[in-house]
Structure 1
């Protein structure tokens, strides 16, 4: 029976160690509440860090924690060390991802050590859940701490359903591109079948970033990534509406809080609730309140701002400095405007229980929540739900995710002190019927789209995601000693290997000249060519001069310009067809016009073809100009012997008589081969696949429709396969040397 595995950085149960032993405390609110029904009633397990480092526990305690969490809470403890927490969580997560995704670029730290820790901990999470995963399972991964995990699971378990939800903002492309390890994180996320965000702004930012950095387009929010379809959508997270809108009760509220609330009944109360963090805009909020007091003196001694801030990351200099700044600003406001009987700002630096918060919410006229950037901000929703009398009013930052749902609130720019001050006045003076109408609409929305609805909608969307996975052959299946391919290679006496270059042996680069062969590739090709049974053929669309410069020093046969030029080791280049270039004078000006109109595009002129590359161009402009250019070229070439070839981010005009199938035939006609192998990644390689004789072994790199027998995901995989060929050749040579002794 299939099961669901939830994975998050922290478990819904926190383990702590005290003098009396191990303590277990269940979390409330947010994610724990949203998934509670599924977790308690269904066939599920929740994996995450329990809150205590394993090096702080004895072996017996580690075992006890694991056993108790498994048996009593249906949880899997992921063991992390103190160093893991420091480098991965406090390091990469909170020094790099957190500030960047919240647009605080000046606060971002780039440290390779913390990045390595992030990768290591994501691998630790994978190794923890891997033994539990079975075919048909669903895995739902949460938040920015585990962005590499979806692809790790996908590579080992291609048939399971994987969901990922990001609980913080996803920044615009211009911000995200600053990240050093940007592609690795995107590829990690794209391992999921469903990627969820709080708002459509974040969805749009993610799709734009994927298109610009990785080159993947989307169709109706679906991205074809390597082997599967990754769907992207918005799922605004709700709250436990029933809990916050329940009948008032004072049994769980401290007497201190009740006394404070009673002391404020003659004032108009403004409440502000946050965790201590620089993204929350707390200093600007205090400055805006000060401006409100200066601008509207009629509210002196009639209004109070109750600033409740939960401690966060105590002992970290950046946060300690923020707390000090807040204290100084509060003192400044109280010193300037306070009287013996009235203190305008009350600052509470403590953790407050949910029930006490509800009591504060219900006795506050206004909630002031003005983060500079926030993924959602559930406090705003909690306040509205708690005010069942519909008499409170929310003043909210337009840069909080919840602003897209709570449009009836007073929406302000968190950087504009004047706007916040006016917003406070508007909220305090709003007519009763207007306030009631706005709150009723927000209540209706929050009660329907609560946290349970959020979880159900995400999981139902994940479960109904289309099953259109592109079957790719796992590399280990092709390189195992029992595979048909390896057996055929091992037993053959005369082999020919046709290898495309760009996109196959080398991943695509921003410009053509950046795809030079690296040291690893040249060593790999050298080893392949050293086997006397191998004829290694590089069959490429590159011109002969580039091919000669990059690979001419190796013992390889090279077919260049899609089959127009042939060079066998030790001989000069041979032109395989008689051609002319008169048509170029017509085609070149057209391409030059579109190059001028499309920033980032460039022209690559070869012996007998011209190519227009647009890989570095802005995708939307390039897509439009590409279609225009293709239409113009096809119109011009109708009466010529040349045709228009539409490749991967390139349009090429060349003689229609020349293709890679023609080049492959030339080589095949020069010998008798008992093992024929071909590998390529785009449409031009389909001509090569079609030209290979029956019984050949063909490998497609990537996701397009193909006639190839096998399919691998990337150039890394094909290099791995060729590396295995060299190992087999080495083994055979060693056996032969042993026999000759």
Structure 2
């Protein structure tokens, strides 16, 4: 059984260098608590940055730290330079991804240098992990700093079990599409077998972005990507419920907290706890509290807001300006409403210990949590769990992830100051019996769905992804010692049958945009230069188009799914007699659906009609496509017509025509000792079925197939052709 490898930006141990020694401090709470039981079981390792710049360490110190972390903490450190930290972490992670994923598009910065650093550091994480990954390992990657890492691991370890969890929101497609490097981020994430989010809203947003940007549909939260199945699901993160519910910090209280308890006994306390960040909605919260004091003067001198803001990135201008804005707003409220004996807002710009926070929780009547956008917000859960008398009440914005779990709280719109003010009043006035009833329901939920349950559920789901994978077909190895290359070199007569769209070129918005580029033409020229090679383009394209694009090369061409055959520099031969009498009837139906589906188009081929919907609105495609397919099947069932379903296309043609005919045509009178067939969609299954048993058949992409091997994309297919051309060239040089 393999080991568990956890990967996060930061290790659960922070390393500090003092004047005399090196200090190691373990993290508490959150992720470290949830994964503690797994991490300490012995057969696991946690990889991440130890919190210290490699620039301040000598090589010997790095070695000492690495040994200490591995021996005593089961941790694998990834050392980062000051430049890495600045560009990758403070730069791309927190100036691009963080604001965009929290819907702050005006705060989002696009910088090529930080993007390059992000890629470089993700690669550095992989390079370090590569030394410890073994075939049976399970790898769980965490958060937005490492979204490229799953695919990097998948590239080298195609059978690895990889999980990824995003601890911040995933934005709607309309927001995510603004990201310059959006496809690269999605492709990086899709290297995982299981992708987890806090809420189903984030799941829905992610699947929508994948469908719209990459054209990959999902079925019951599962999608086929390249060579594996990706499951996407919601796993709401919990807290260490027993710790907060049973903790008794009274004996460890500081004098400051004892004074707080003594001096606030005659007022109702409202507490607000956040890290300094513009996503938390702190200025709006203060304005809402001001609105509350204006509209409900009977609460003057009877209520107090304890505003705790933990310092964060104050060296950054945006955050420093936010701190100043908060200070001004607090001063305005206290100046307008305060009295000699009463100050409405007590502002604490510092961090408190966990014990002190539990004390704050237990002596506060209301927790005010109104982020403008938050992945989960564990503070809300900590407050509820800490109130073991069930008498506290939570006022929380609907845009916090926890709102989907804590529906018994007072839920408000974070931008509506009046609604927040009314929510504060409702929470303060709520009878104890009602508060107890609501709290007990939330407690039951939090006690069951605690942080250990969250980790157990995710890891169990990840291990179960083995049974959900695509039919097991090996990924073709692109190396000199592969079975295919050895067979190619030993063969004297070779037949290469190559589909065009999706196999040699990527898909384009419209069919006419998929013209062969210079690289492809050069590759085909090199492969056909070997006199032992018979290279055939076998495609659904009409004969005029494919001849115009590739007819000048030394290629055989089979067009219109097998209807037309052409030798190099030869004339077209029709392989079967067909007619077009059916076209008008079918065209009328296709035109009707084209009018209803903006973005769809009809491609008229010589003896077939194709309806393309690649550019259509994905949310309405499914219904209309199925409706059209059913209509076409109903009409064609009494004819000799068939309905082919390709990649974002429905094509109607004579049912007697298929790509398998082309194989029989070429192999009928010729003996080849090497045959290769490659294709990417349903129409190529006829090709695979017609190949002899000893042939090398290759499916490009995912989905079940008759082919023996897989390649991920047309790019890998081009890599294979390049290797074959090189092998031919080497043989030719040797022969000389």
What is the CA–CA distance in structure 1 between the aligned matches of 2:341 and 2:701, rounded to whole Å? 73
Matching residue of 1:422? 422
The one-character-per-residue Cα deviations of 1:388-444 (angstroms, maximum 9, x if unpaired) are 112211100111011111111110000000000000011111111111111121112
| Contact persistence 1:167–1:198 (CA under 8 A) | yes
Deviation at 1:244, TM superposition (A): 1.3
Contact 1:475 1:721 in 2 (8 A): no
| 3-state secondary structure, aligned to 2:515 | coil
What is the CA distance between 1:577 and its match in structure 2?
3.5
Equivalent-residue separation in structure 2 for 1:459 and 1:267 (angstroms): 46
Q: Distance in 1 between matches of 2:43 and 2:215?
A: 39
The answer to whether the 8 Å contact 2:476/2:710 transfers is no
Instruction: State whether structure 2 residue 200 is matched by structure 1 residue 200.
Output: yes
In the alignment, what sits opposite 1:647? 646
Farther off after superposition, 313-322 or 209-218:
209-218
Mark the CA change 1:14 to 1:409 in structure 2 (over 3 Å): closer, same or farther.
same
Alpha carbons of structure 1 residues 472 and 187: separation in structure 2 relative to 1, 3 Å: farther
Aligned 8 A contact 2:644 2:652 in 1? yes
Q: Say whether 1:142 aligns with 2:148.
A: no
CA contact (8 A) 2:2 2:137 kept: yes
Q: Distance in 2 between the 1:49 and 1:501 partners?
A: 45
Q: Is 2:118 the counterpart of 1:156? A: no
Q: Which moved more, 1:338-347 or 1:591-600?
A: 338-347
Supply the distance in 2 between the matched residues of 1:669 and 1:41 (Cα, whole angstroms).
63
Match of 1:244 in 2: 244
Partner in structure 2 of residue 473 of structure 1: 474
Q: Is the 8 A contact 2:476 2:709 kept in 1?
A: no
Match for residue 519 of structure 1?
A: 518
296-305 or 274-283: which moved more? 296-305
Q: State the shift of 1:468 in Å.
A: 4.3
Find the counterpart in structure 1 of residue 712 from structure 2.
713
Q: CA separation in 2, counterparts of 1:698 and 1:49? A: 44
- Give 1:671 shift: 4.8
Kept in 1: contact 2:141–2:162 (CA 8 A) = yes
Distance 1:7 1:364 in 2: 37
Q: Show the counterpart of 2:340.
A: 340
CA distance in 1, matches of 2:14, 2:709: 48
Normalising by structure 2, we get a TM-score of 0.96
Give the CA deviation at 1:209: 2.3
Alignment of 1:163-182 (within 5 A): 163-182=163-182
2:586 is the counterpart of 1:587: yes
Greater alpha carbon shift after TM alignment, 310-319 vs 419-428: 310-319
Provide the residue aligned with 1:505 in structure 2: 504
1:614 corresponds in structure 2 to: 613
Question: What does 1:477-556 correspond to in 2, within 5 Å?
Answer: 478-481=478-481, 483-556=482-555
Q: CA deviation at 1:223?
A: 2.1
Correspondences of 1:388-467 after superposition (within 5 Å): 388-467=388-467
The CA deviation at 1:162 is 1.8
**What CA distance in whole angstroms lies between the structure 1 residues aligned with 2:66 and 2:483?**
44
Q: Report the more deviating stretch, 273-282 or 692-701.
A: 692-701
Return the alpha-carbon distance in structure 2 between the equivalents of residues 658 and 41 of structure 1.
60
**Structure 1 range deviating more: 572-581 or 426-435:** 572-581
Residues 1:314 and 1:716: Cα distance change in structure 2 (over 3 Å): same
Q: Structure 1: which 5+ residue stretches go unaligned?
A: none
**1:87-143 deviation per Cα after TM superposition (whole angstroms, max 9, x unaligned):** 111111111111111111222122222222112211111111122122322111111
Which residue number in structure 2 is paired with residue 638 of structure 1?
637
Of 226-235 and 343-352, more deviation after overlay is shown by: 226-235
**What per-residue deviation string (whole Å, max 9, x for no partner) do you get for residues 549-571 of structure 1?**
32233332222211222333223
CA contact (8 A) 1:642 1:653 kept: yes
Cα distance in structure 1, aligned partners of 2:354 and 2:675: 69
Query: Distance in 2 between the 1:425 and 1:152 partners?
Result: 52
Per-residue displacement from partner, 1:190-227 (whole Å, max 9, x unpaired)? 22222211112212222222223223333332223222
Q: How far did residue 382 of structure 1 move?
A: 0.8
Contact 2:700 2:714 in 1 (8 A): yes
Alpha-carbon distance between aligned partners in 2 of 1:685 and 1:401, rounded to the nearest angstrom: 45
Name the stretch that deviates more: 570-579 or 708-717. Answer: 570-579
CA distance, structure 1, for counterparts of residue 621 and residue 475 of structure 2:
34
The count of corresponding residues between Structure 1 and Structure 2 is: 735
Secondary structure of the residue that 2:716 maps to in structure 1? helix
RMSD of the TM alignment (CA)?
1.8
Distance in 2 of aligned mates of 1:290 and 1:226: 55
Establish whether residue 129 from structure 1 lines up as the match of residue 121 from structure 2: no
- Change in Cα spacing, 1:78 to 1:454, as seen in structure 2 (3 Å) is same
Residues 475, 720 of structure 1: 8 Å contact kept: no
Contact 1:475/1:717, CA 8 A, preserved across alignment: no
Kindly indicate whether the alpha-carbon contact (under 8 Å) linking 2:249 and 2:356 is maintained by their aligned counterparts in 1. no
2:276/2:319 contact within 8 Å kept: yes
Question: What are the within-5 Å matches in structure 2 for residues 210-229 of structure 1?
Answer: 210-229=210-229
Alpha-carbon distance between aligned partners in 2 of 1:319 and 1:363, rounded to the nearest angstrom: 30
| Pair 1:283-2:283 in alignment | yes
1:703 aligns with 2:702: yes
Query: 1:725 is matched with which residue?
Result: 724
Report which stretch shifted further, 274-283 or 466-475.
466-475
In the other structure, the counterpart of 1:661 is 660
Cα offset, 1:725, TM superposition: 0.2
Closer, same or farther in 2 for the Cα pair 1:243/1:334, shift >3 Å?
same
SS in 1 for 2:309: strand
Aligned residue number for residue 323 of structure 1: 323
* Counterpart contact for 1:310–1:349, Cα < 8 Å: yes
* 1:247-278 per-position Cα deviation (integer Å, ceiling 9, x unaligned): 53334332123223322222211110000111
Check whether the contact 2:87–2:118 (CA below 8 A) recurs between aligned residues: yes
Hey, what's the Cα distance between the residues in 2 that align with 1:603 and 1:559?
Answer: 22
Matched, 1:568 2:567: yes
Contact 1:8 1:47 in 2 (8 A): yes
Q: Distance in 2 between matches of 1:634 and 1:189?
A: 38
* Aligned mates of 2:64, 2:396 — CA distance in 1: 46
User: Which contiguous aligned blocks of 4+ residues in structure 1 show a shift greater than 4 angstroms?
Assistant: 669-672
Distance in 2 (CA, whole Å) between partners of 1:162 and 1:688 is 33
How many angstroms apart in 2 are the aligned matches of 1:631 and 1:363?
65
Q: Which residue of 2 aligns with 1:603?
A: 602
1:472/1:713 contact within 8 Å kept: no
More off after superposition, 50-59 vs 110-119: 110-119
1:154-199 Cα shifts (integer Å, max 9, x gaps): 2322333222111111112222222222222222222222221111
Deviations 1:4-51 (A, max 9, x none): 111111000001122232111111110011111221234111111000
**Residue 281 (structure 1) shift:** 0.5
